[in-house]
Structure 1
């Protein structure tokens, strides 16, 4: 009877919940403001922070950044989606290359009507990539434009590679476009800076980071975090990544101001860039507005005028440049278009004189140019006979 009563008492007592290591770790993430997202038997962490549009990062408010995104007309910076579909995205990985490299932190800044939203996703365990990508891809939607720093060559290919391992369970990758600010920084700042890393460009504009975790240490922090399951170990990496994303917002704003504005410092570069992108009308308009163009600008303008059938406007510019290349263009025009062989010979001889002057500096290049011009001169002499 006593045994039966003991069993009855035992069955009415509530069962104690056993706290698992996941429970302990998730509680720590929640204490840091993290949100636990689950998928099947996996989970990941989402961190969110909101900033009003009046908030400033470096020299620009997020409201100014929103205007830059909406109003950019330069082909490199212009986007064809609503502002909240433009994601200033960055990742942190366990290495730089190779099939074993994983992304353990991915995030983006996104500008809405009344605020900027900063979102980060943390992979708590290498085996939980399905939950990680499931929630990231669901949150960003079916069509986005990424603003990154080397993301077109690194971050996005890494995402695509890792997606192949989980694509049977998560949605397809979205339709994407890229504004890779590394390429913009190279074009605008490479002559000035030895390095165009994001941190170097920030420092160039007066915003050198203090007490920031070097990027190469991020994998070490992640591996240590996975081993100890202590979120505080990842805090410096998360802060570094957070700063990278917000820096992309500021840098996009600054660079669009440089190329969209009237700054003489970047006027020629803007024209060259438009020409390289195939926007010939805009490039010619920009070249025509330069107050004191260099010989390089005049030469590129002349070649563009020639290519677009405006040779009469190009000829005076070729004369002004007076280089081997421009004199060769004048010689070709005289020979083939106006049939003025004597003038073609004059231009060719002038070009040969420049080649002779260059020989002591650039022997191989000069010899090649000399051979080509001598061949042209011999043909012209035969035509004159």
Structure 2
């Protein structure tokens, strides 16, 4: 690590000289970019065109995928905008916290076009070039564009909006429609992956591994300040690579998730946990029949008791909503027998209100309490415990007064 830091321009504090000589190598040359000038100054621009057969891990870039469901999930209107309207965006910044003094020294964005995926990266050689870079950025976008990011709703777009305000460039980026792939990734993989970081998703889902040119994100602010001090752009070459891979992974993830949600991938190639998560997404969208069909199709493929519990409990919920109680209790019974507390309470309610069998209802309440105490993933909160105990008290009263 010490050698890596040294190669990127870092020095021990005692060895730093205020008059460090500037490098003869220019940033625009080092990154194969060019200088752009506008009314507010200069900055560096780099463009890279990736053909539509570009391979990023297991994902091939092309136009043959449907985006309706992913757009519905992100509440995008209309639900089928042209791919050219999508702006895949990521920033590299002077700090990781996103505070008032933090600025983006590199803004990368990509678009699909008839020729392929065009990646554009805007860089500033010093903070004074920020206004020119931001002016160019806002001239390349319009209010019909849809941002696609990874945590951009919380970080990149608020940061850019703040810098636009400070530079008196009145464009309201927060009003643009936005698909944040972090939020959708959590819906899909929060139970099956150790984390939903882009790095984890790259490795586990996209099957993509970066090469030795990459640099850890936590090092990037210091690399930029080392460049400001020395003028040596060698470290920034790796930052430019890092940013490019972030955006390519973002586009690949968008394609992959679009196919997952559209059901165009072979079901046998999609893990059961992913299909369970997809069924939840369709349920949340109000597509109950689609959700139910997915769950029924994967029930024979389950490998764990936990998967069977989740599927049976969800199918019970579906048939209850459709008014088919007899079918619902079959699935709830399966889930309850495997320790699902919520399914136990559904059975208790059924036997209390529909069958008037208070003893059986009490039995399922007791099983529900036991399941919640065993630490399963169903609601074992104090509210759940209190409501179940109240239900049991009521059932005991009803049973003692039942003739």
Q: 1:199 aligns to what? A: 199
Residue 245 and residue 367 in structure 1: after superposition, are their counterparts in 2 closer, same or farther (change >3 A)? closer
Trace 1:142-221 onto structure 2 (pairs within 5 A): 142-166=143-167, 168-173=168-173, 175-204=175-204, 205-211=206-212, 212-221=214-223
RMSD: 3.2
Give TM-score, length-normalised by structure 1: 0.80
Q: Which runs of 5+ in 1 are unaligned?
A: 1-23
Q: 1:154 to 1:173 in 2, by over 3 A?
A: closer
- Residues 177-233 of structure 1: per-residue CA shift (max 9 Å, x gap): 333222333343344432332222222243222321111111112112223344444
Contact 2:341 2:372 (C-alpha < 8 Å) held by counterparts: no
1:60 corresponds to which residue?
Answer: 59
Structure-2 separation of matches of 1:251 and 1:352: 45
Change (3 A) 1:137 1:27: same
Does 2:274 align with 1:274? Answer: no
Rg (Cα) greater in structure: 1
Cα contact 1:138–1:171 (8 A) shared by 2: no
Contact kept? 1:107, 1:119, Cα under 8 Å: yes
Deviations 1:28-50 (A, max 9, x none): 52674423233334222221111
Q: Which deviations, in whole Å up to 9, do the C-alpha atoms of 1:318-374 show, x marking residues without a partner?
A: 2333344324223323443x3x42x23312223314535765768986964662342
Question: CA 1:143/1:379 → structure 2, altered by over 3 Å: closer, same or farther?
Answer: farther
Give the match for residue 69 of structure 2. Answer: 73
Q: Distance in 2 between matches of 1:51 and 1:367?
A: 56
Greater Cα shift, 289-298 or 211-220: 289-298
Asked if the contact 1:355/1:369 (under 8 Å) is kept, the reply is no
Query: In terms of mean alpha carbon deviation, does 278-287 or 262-271 score higher?
Result: 278-287
Deviation of the 1:242 alpha carbon: 0.9
Aligned to 1:350, the other structure's residue is in SS state helix
1:1-385 aligned at under 5 Å gives the runs 29=28, 32-63=31-62, 66-68=63-65, 70-74=66-70, 75-76=72-73, 80-97=80-97, 98-166=99-167, 168-173=168-173, 175-204=175-204, 205-211=206-212, 212-259=214-261, 260=263, 261=265, 262=267, 263=270, 265=272, 266-292=274-300, 294-322=308-336, 323-336=340-353, 338=354, 340-341=355-356, 343-353=357-367, 355-356=369-370, 359=373, 368=386, 371-381=389-399, 384=402
**Residue 166 of structure 2: SS of its match in structure 1?**
coil
CA displacement, residues 70-109 of structure 1 (integer Å, 9 cap, x when unaligned): 4553433785321111122111111122111111111112
CA contact (8 A) 2:161 2:174 kept: no
Give yes or no for contact 1:327–1:348 (8 Å, CA) kept in 2: no
Output the TM-score relative to the length of structure 2: 0.76
Question: Cα distance 1:187–1:160, how it changes in 2: closer, same or farther (>3 A)?
Answer: same
- Partner secondary structure for residue 145 of structure 2: strand
